[in-house]
Chains A and B, each alone.
Chain A
Amino acid sequence: DSGVTQTPKHLITATGQRVTLRCSPRSGDLSVYWYQQSLDQGLQFLIQYYNGEERAKGNILERFSAQQFPDLHSELNLSSLELGDSALYFCASSVAGGSISEQFFGPGTRLTVL
């Protein structure tokens, strides 16, 4: 158990819909990272938040957005869903955001878009 929790574990929805994925980082970790994992693309970095502020952006689509709240939990919002958005979405947390530090991954949310 990494100490990072993600809900829900599974999510099945239809194209065009909007979903919200939730992540609670390890106690004391200030950074939260979101990743998308698919069979053909591997683990792709989406976005990072550090202590409530956006720190880095990766391959995140405009239809996707995220935020980190004062209690440090984070949400990833996916809208106008397409079939290709079906993937595993992981959240990871680390103590710091500006230096090399170990990322601890949650168990992931499996999103299926029908």
Chain B
Amino acid sequence: TQLLEQSPQFLSIQEGENLTVYCNSSSVFSSLQWYRQEPGEGPVLLVTVVTGGEVKKLKRLTFQFGDARKDSSLHITAAQPGDTGLYLCAGVRSGGYQKVTFGIGTKLQVIP
């Protein structure tokens, strides 16, 4: 059982469409991170959200942290082929040392 559930697991869309992927947990996190991983490479951090209800924008990507700090969403506007990749959310629990738990990821394919 995954501590962090991501949905959908797979998503294939046409260039120009909008999409939202979700990251849900029954646990509370001190912060939540989103990563993108491309084939043959390690994950790269996109954003960290810390405050419940926080919204952060990174160009066409909008990240939201749930009010209760248990869930998060990533919305992509006008998806482009360059957005193709595996999107991972990671919950961070602090207290002595940083402990990061990753979701299984959403594999996004944007078709030109």
Partner-B contacts on A (CB < 8 A): 2, 4, 33, 35, 41-45, 48, 50, 55-56, 58, 90, 92, 94, 97-108
Contact A45 B40, beta carbon cutoff 8 Å: no
Q: Does B112 contact A (CB under 8 A)?
A: no
Contact A43 B102, beta carbon cutoff 8 Å: yes
Q: Which residues of A contact B42 (CB under 8 A)?
A: 2, 4, 90, 92, 105-108
Q: Which residue of A lies closest to B40 (CB)?
A: A107
Binary interface encoding of chain B residues 1-43 relative to chain A, with 1 for a CB under 8 A from any of its CBs, else 0: 0100000000000000000000000000011000000001111
Query: Which of B59-67, B77-85, B88-96 makes up part of the contact surface?
Result: B88-96
Most buried by A among B41, B42, B96: B42
Interface residue tally on B, bucketed by range: 20 to 34
Contact A42 B2, beta carbon cutoff 8 Å: yes
Partner-A contacts on B (CB < 8 A): 2, 30-31, 40-45, 48, 50, 88, 92, 94, 96-105
The distance in angstroms between the C-alpha atoms of A104 and B42, with both chains bound, is 8
Give the dominant DSSP class at B's interface: loop
Min Cβ gap A26→B in Å is: 12
Q: Which residues of A contact B45 (CB under 8 A)?
A: 102-104
Out of B41, B44, B97, B104, name the residue touching A55 (CB < 8 Å). B97
The distance in angstroms between the C-alpha atoms of A55 and B96, with both chains bound, is 9
Q: Which residue of B lies closest to A40 (CB)?
A: B104
Contact A98 B96, beta carbon cutoff 8 Å: yes
Q: Which 7 A/B pairs are nearest by Cβ-Cβ distance?
A: A105-B42, A42-B104, A43-B102, A56-B97, A105-B43, A90-B42, A55-B97
